[in-house]
């Protein structure tokens, strides 16, 4: 009986690795679409992806998977809930029960439309013309509604979508978390606005030649621990990280020759994602045990490196002299204090990925509110630009001058990734909790940054986060690391302390 | 009955397009492997490719394909042998009858070893160490022998391999063609060696900054008609062209900042391939009707643009002033005559892809002789460097100083593309025949080059070659275009006239 279960488990692993291999091939095609694809090839790429998605979906919903899974679930293999087999069986079951409800034709059509919509979005954003993008957005929303309805006819559609990124999340709970953040952040933002201190941000808007930006950012990503023998860095319209396959993790960023921060912090953010992917246990690749623990945890890794490390004073104590060597014209007259303040300058602005730590979560909240309205039919696509601008005005007291700086700025909707945005805020919260714990456990953590030592932090994250794969869901993982539940207060404490000092509050 | 055949044909087309789609995905993975792949990802990429190859092979050898094909073959759909259905049925049958004899596991293993061998070859070439590459070469030869034996147990193995690139070719016939060329070229080469005229090749070995080379070559490729909306240009260790999918044709080259010709003529060569791919009838994509007519014809397109166009005096009448703008330091003192002579300088040298038109086919002959010896067990892998150098000495009266300049120089063996090299010489022969005909039919063809007009030639090639896809095999296509059989004399006439004038023979 046990022999039968072991055999069933082994066959399941083999099948799931095959499915993951198809996913990794799709990952490469998706990366290439963002980075390299000639314009005329959009349709061909969409067909390639739709075909692979159909293939993958049929493999993932084969009745044999359900049968094999039942054998494993009824065996002693799953006795230890944190054991490899139990973790895999738990997540396979969850995925299988969801996927079998979705027709393959819907999955193919979604993938095809996502692929086609990427190019349309890039063009629409370039021309700042929402009307170019809205038919594609209509289609993607309609398809995602069909998808959510197929999986859970009775549940709020948004819950089903968010659950893909954050298992167990609901719109109600996310609203509670996000408004908790808002309630603490709005007064902080208001206090900062009232401060007479102002960073000199003009130092970040000097000449920063693109090729030098690339070299500097790549060197910094390598210094904090991203392994470029097993990865690369390219340019794309929207920064992202793609963990394609073992040994193949790819970062992208975008460059502005008159702006330092966007590309640099984009690279560090994506390198945070990338180091998580590179730290997942390779022996378990293709199974949940070797996969990340949801997008909130994934974003915690990117935000931790971006904000808690790369926007810290010790980090720049080490890197500013190096930046001055690479950008002598722009930076030779800049002090550490001035630079540190500039890269932490708080300012209401239009673009989420360029937002500071204080305003960032308000950008997320805005998107979350629009998405939940779209999926509960309280907002129609044609009203998106108006609703965006209205909500933006409410949170930031200013109105985007065009849709490129408004509702067209993010790649997520063109990828039908509705329900993703809250993961960013969860990531911020988790990052603060995890980082606070790291400071307790690693002696002289930030002192090490001043001489360029980041390995102790990466090793600690490898052990505490990366090595576990999907063994624990986010709440359990946070509990295991910090001894307590998910809690937004460490983030607030961090922001109050840091910005209180910077702005003399 | 006819309805049944029509339905069978439609299903066959759908199945073959699906197979072609898998091939196009493999094409992207192969391109990415040469251009982008992080070193640590070799094994993962090999597994992806092996998996797709297995999938494709199983699809391509499904019994239903044979059954559907029989229905089509017995119907009136194939009455006109140049009709779409007849052309497709003819080539599907040929491919199917070959493929069903090869076990899927062999195809997967071949693909896996090819992928793994690429990285090994790159390293071995870099270190000029044949012993690093020889185990991979042993494996690839053994697998290709198994492959050839599976397809045609009684036939000479090399014939079966060459047939993949040049349908109907045999080692005996190729030997006849190549020795015919040799007999005419050796005296020509000897006459040139005896001439007192010498080109000043130092003008091509000045400072040519890589980024400017890229811009200049890309502009020239666009000017002759390669469509960059539907393609791109990158760098890789060995230049190649990959026609991945409709709208997605990718060229690569390699740059030397102290050498002008290698990258430039490489790009024009690959653009010749690329324009053929871009000119194939897109409506027939995925079927033989929309596929190139074998590698000899493919090479005719690259060699025609590279040698007959881009190494001509009228071409440089137009482009030299432009080159002088891009490379003022290197070229401002260079006359048209000097430049034209330099890019047509005949010299025995070690690297095939840098060889001039006169010596090129001798490089091919050398490889052909080694390959036929390897596949008839008259040569073992460990003796390859010695045999290479010995034959090289016989043809060129000099010995490669190392294996990077000798038997490690070409990518083909690491791709298990044994039997490919003769296609280059066939391409040279076809190119001369096709170009001689173009000169007859297009008024003022070369005069147009002097003011940058290449569209008449491309349109003519589109109509005479590209539009036909695989409708005609190479001999029929040449007959259709020139009214006569395959004939190496136009190539010899061209070389004698051109080099007779340059070297005052």
Query: By the 8 A CB rule, do A10 and A47 touch?
Result: no
What is the average pLDDT value for chain A, to the nearest integer?
96
Best residue in A14, A43, A48, A233 to probe B by mutation, most B CBs within 10 Å? A48
Which residues does chain A have within 8 Å of residue B227's beta carbon, measured at their own beta carbons?
40
Which residues does chain B have within 8 Å of residue A249's beta carbon, measured at their own beta carbons?
38
Q: A21 in contact with B at a CB cutoff of 8 Å?
A: yes
Determine phi and psi for A235, rounding to 5 degrees: -105, 145
Token duo for residue B408? 């490690």
Determine phi and psi for A232, rounding to 5 degrees: -155, 175
CA distance B251 to chain A (A): 12
Inter-chain Cβ pairs, chain A and chain B, closer than 8 A: 102
Q: What percent of chain A has pLDDT over 90?
A: 98
Token duo for residue A410? 């993010």
Long-range contacts of A148-155, Cβ-Cβ distance < 8 Å, separation of 24 or more: A148/A375, A150/A101, A150/A102, A150/A103, A150/A106, A151/A98, A151/A101, A151/A102
Which residues does chain B have within 8 Å of residue A40's beta carbon, measured at their own beta carbons?
227, 229-230, 246-248
Query: By the 8 A CB rule, do A244 and A274 touch?
Result: no
Distance, CA of B202 to CA of B319 (rounded, Å):
19
Which residues does chain A have within 8 Å of residue B38's beta carbon, measured at their own beta carbons?
228-232, 247-249
Task: Give the CA count within 13 Å in the CB-facing half-sphere of B248.
Answer: 23
pLDDT digits (tens, 9 = 90+) for B47-86: 999 999 999 999 999 999 999 999 999 999 999 999 999 9
Beta bridge pairs of residue B232: B250
Query: By the 8 A CB rule, do B124 and B406 touch?
Result: no
- DSSP H/E element including B408: none
Fill in the DSSP letter of residue B141: H
CA distance A57 to chain B (A): 15
pLDDT digits (tens, 9 = 90+) for A221-256: 999 999 999 999 999 988 999 999 999 999 999 999
CA angle (A376, A378, A383) in 5-degree steps = 125
* pLDDT band at residue B130 under the 50/70/90 scheme: very high
Give the residue-averaged pLDDT of A100-116.
95
Q: Look-up: residue for tokens 């400071």?
A: A439
Distance, CA of A289 to CA of A470 (rounded, Å):
5
CA distance B26 to chain A (A): 9
Order of strands across the sheet with B241-245?
Answer: B231-235, B248-253, B241-245
pLDDT digits (tens, 9 = 90+) for B251-304: 999 999 999 999 999 999 999 999 999 999 999 999 999 999 999 999 999 999
Token duo for residue A252? 């992208």
Q: A32 in contact with B at a CB cutoff of 8 Å?
A: yes
Query: By the 8 A CB rule, do A251 and A226 touch?
Result: yes
pLDDT digits (tens, 9 = 90+) for B321-363: 999 999 999 999 999 999 999 999 999 999 998 899 999 999 9
**Which residue from B25, B40, B231 is facing A48, i.e. has the nearest CB?**
B25
Q: A45 in contact with B at a CB cutoff of 8 Å?
A: yes
Best residue in A30, A39, A41 to probe B by mutation, most B CBs within 10 Å? A41
Q: Is A270 a catalytic residue?
A: yes
Residue B100 CA, distance from chain mean position = 27
Distance, CA of A83 to CA of B136 (rounded, Å):
40
* pLDDT band at residue B433 under the 50/70/90 scheme: very high
3-state helix, strand, coil in chain A (%, to 5): 70, 5, 25
- DSSP H/E element including A235: strand A231-235
Q: A326 in contact with B at a CB cutoff of 8 Å?
A: no
CA distance B45 to chain A (A): 8
pLDDT digits (tens, 9 = 90+) for A186-225: 999 999 999 999 999 999 999 999 999 999 999 999 999 9
Pairing of strands A241-245, A231-235: unpaired
Q: A211 in contact with B at a CB cutoff of 8 Å?
A: no
| Catalytic residue, candidates B109, B111, B270, B306 | B270
Q: A116 in contact with B at a CB cutoff of 8 Å?
A: no
- pTM (predicted TM-score): 0.95
**Closest residue in chain B to residue A23, using alpha carbons only:** B48
pLDDT at B1 over 70: no
pLDDT at residue A2, rounded to an integer:
75
Distance, CA of B355 to CA of B352 (rounded, Å):
5
* Contact at CB, B38 and A245, closer than 8 angstroms: no
Token duo for residue A89? 């069986």
Closest CA to B283 of B275, B271, B291: B291
**Closest residue in chain A to residue B50, using alpha carbons only:** A21
CA distance A471 to chain B (A): 24
Which residues does chain A have within 8 Å of residue B56's beta carbon, measured at their own beta carbons?
none
Q: B56 in contact with A at a CB cutoff of 8 Å?
A: no
Q: Which residues contact B458 (CB under 8 A, 6 or more apart)?
A: B224, B225, B275, B279
Distance, CA of A418 to CA of A420 (rounded, Å):
6
**Closest residue in chain B to residue A282, using alpha carbons only:** B44
pLDDT digits (tens, 9 = 90+) for A256-265: 999 999 999 9
pLDDT at residue B168, rounded to an integer:
87
pLDDT digits (tens, 9 = 90+) for B486-505: 999 999 999 999 999 999 99
pLDDT at A368 over 60: yes
Distance, CA of B389 to CA of B407 (rounded, Å):
8
Q: A321 in contact with B at a CB cutoff of 8 Å?
A: no
**Which residue from A51, A230, A232 is facing B36, i.e. has the nearest CB?**
A232
**Closest residue in chain B to residue A54, using alpha carbons only:** B18
pLDDT at residue B308, rounded to an integer:
98
| Catalytic residue, candidates A33, A111, A270, A306 | A270
Fill in the DSSP letter of residue A170: -
* Contact at CB, B28 and A32, closer than 8 angstroms: yes
Order of strands across the sheet with A231-235?
Answer: A231-235, A248-253, A241-245
Distance, CA of B304 to CA of B310 (rounded, Å):
9
CA distance B223 to chain A (A): 18
pLDDT digits (tens, 9 = 90+) for A33-42: 999 999 999 9
Distance, CA of A284 to CA of A13 (rounded, Å):
9
Window 212-231 of B: residues touching A by CB (8 A cutoff) are: 227-231
Distance, first Cα to last Cα, chain B? 67
Best residue in B29, B40, B249 to probe A by mutation, most A CBs within 10 Å? B40
pLDDT digits (tens, 9 = 90+) for B134-169: 999 999 999 999 999 999 999 999 999 999 999 889
Which residues does chain A have within 8 Å of residue B243's beta carbon, measured at their own beta carbons?
none
* Contact at CB, A24 and B48, closer than 8 angstroms: yes
pLDDT digits (tens, 9 = 90+) for A302-355: 999 999 999 999 999 999 999 999 999 999 999 999 999 999 999 999 999 889
Best residue in A14, A15, A36, A56 to probe B by mutation, most B CBs within 10 Å? A36
Distance, CA of B276 to CA of B291 (rounded, Å):
10
Q: A459 in contact with B at a CB cutoff of 8 Å?
A: no
Q: A363 in contact with B at a CB cutoff of 8 Å?
A: no
Residue B237 CA, distance from chain mean position = 16
pLDDT at B483 over 60: yes
pLDDT at residue A168, rounded to an integer:
87
Token duo for residue A23? 């996913």
Which residues does chain B have within 8 Å of residue A245's beta carbon, measured at their own beta carbons?
41, 44-45, 48
CA distance B426 to chain A (A): 31
pLDDT digits (tens, 9 = 90+) for A423-461: 999 999 999 999 999 999 999 999 999 999 999 999 999
DSSP string of B205-216, one letter each residue? SS---HHHHHHH
Token duo for residue B174? 């190729």
Give the residue-averaged pLDDT of A404-414.
96
Distance, CA of A426 to CA of A488 (rounded, Å):
9
Q: B47 in contact with A at a CB cutoff of 8 Å?
A: yes
Distance, CA of B130 to CA of B108 (rounded, Å):
26
Task: Give the CA count within 13 Å in the CB-facing half-sphere of A363.
Answer: 25
Distance, CA of B138 to CA of B136 (rounded, Å):
5
B155 Rama sector, left if φ>0, alpha if ψ -120 to 50, beta otherwise: beta
Give the residue-averaged pLDDT of B93-105.
96
Q: Look-up: residue for tokens 């390598």?
A: A222
Q: What percent of chain B has pLDDT over 70?
A: 100
Q: Look-up: residue for tokens 């063109």?
A: A414
Q: Which ranges of B240-310 does DSSP label H, i.e. alpha helix?
A: 261-279, 295-303
């Amino acid at each position: 009986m046990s022999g039968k279960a072991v055999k069933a488990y082994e066959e399941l692993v083999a099948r799931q690795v095959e499915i993951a291999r198809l996913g990794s091939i799709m990952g490469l095609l998706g990366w290439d679409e963002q980075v390299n694809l000639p314009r005329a090839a959009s349709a061909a790429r969409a067909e390639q992806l739709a075909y692979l998605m159909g293939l993958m979906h049929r493999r993932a919903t084969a009745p044999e998977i359900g049968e094999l899974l039942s054998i494993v679930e009824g065996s002693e293999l799953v006795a230890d809930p944190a054991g490899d087999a139990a973790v895999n069986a738990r997540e396979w079951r969850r995925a299988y029960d969801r996927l079998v409800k979705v027709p393959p034709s819907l999955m193919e059509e979604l993938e095809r439309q996502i692929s086609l919509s990427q190019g349309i979005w890039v063009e629409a954003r370039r021309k700042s013309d929402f009307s170019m993008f809205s038919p594609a957005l209509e289609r993607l929303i309609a398809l995602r509604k069909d998808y959510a309805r197929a999986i859970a006819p009775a549940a709020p559609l948004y819950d089903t979508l968010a659950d893909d990124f954050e298992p167990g999340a609901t719109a109600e709970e996310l609203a509670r978390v996000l408004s908790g953040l808002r309630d603490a952040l709005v007064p902080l933002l208001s206090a900062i606005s009232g401060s007479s201190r102002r960073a000199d941000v003009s130092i970040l808007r000097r000449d920063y030649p693109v090729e030098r930006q690339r070299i500097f950012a790549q060197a910094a990503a390598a210094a904090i621990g991203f392994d470029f023998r097993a990865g690369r860095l390219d340019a794309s319209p929207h920064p992202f990280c793609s963990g394609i396959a073992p040994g193949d993790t790819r970062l992208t960023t975008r460059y502005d020759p008159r702006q330092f921060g966007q590309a640099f912090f984009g690279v560090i953010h994506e390198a945070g994602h990338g180091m998580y992917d590179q730290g997942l246990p390779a022996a378990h690749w293709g199974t949940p045990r070797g996969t990340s623990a949801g997008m909130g945890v994934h974003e915690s890794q990117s935000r931790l490196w971006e904000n808690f490390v790369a926007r810290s004073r010790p980090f720049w104590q080490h890197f500013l002299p190096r930046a001055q060597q690479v950008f002598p014209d722009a930076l030779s007259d800049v002090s550490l204090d001035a630079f540190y303040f500039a890269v932490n300058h708080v300012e209401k602005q239009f673009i989420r990925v360029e937002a500071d730590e204080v305003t960032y979560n308000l950008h997320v909240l805005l998107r979350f509110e629009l998405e939940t309205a779209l999926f509960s039919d309280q907002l129609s696509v044609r009203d998106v630009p108006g609703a965006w601008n209205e909500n933006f005005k409410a949170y930031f007291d200013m109105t985007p001058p065009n849709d490129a700086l408004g509702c067209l700025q993010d790649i997520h909707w063109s990828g039908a990734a509705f329900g993703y945005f809250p993961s960013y805020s969860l990531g911020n919260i988790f990052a603060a909790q995890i980082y606070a714990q790291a400071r307790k456990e690693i002696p002289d953590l930030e002192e090490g940054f001043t001489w360029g030592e980041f390995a102790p932090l990466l090793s600690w994250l490898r052990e505490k986060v990366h090595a576990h794969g999907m063994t624990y869901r986010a709440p359990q993982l946070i509990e295991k690391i910090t001894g307590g539940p998910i809690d937004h207060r460490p983030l607030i404490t961090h922001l109050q302390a840091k910005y209180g000092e910077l702005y003399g509050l």
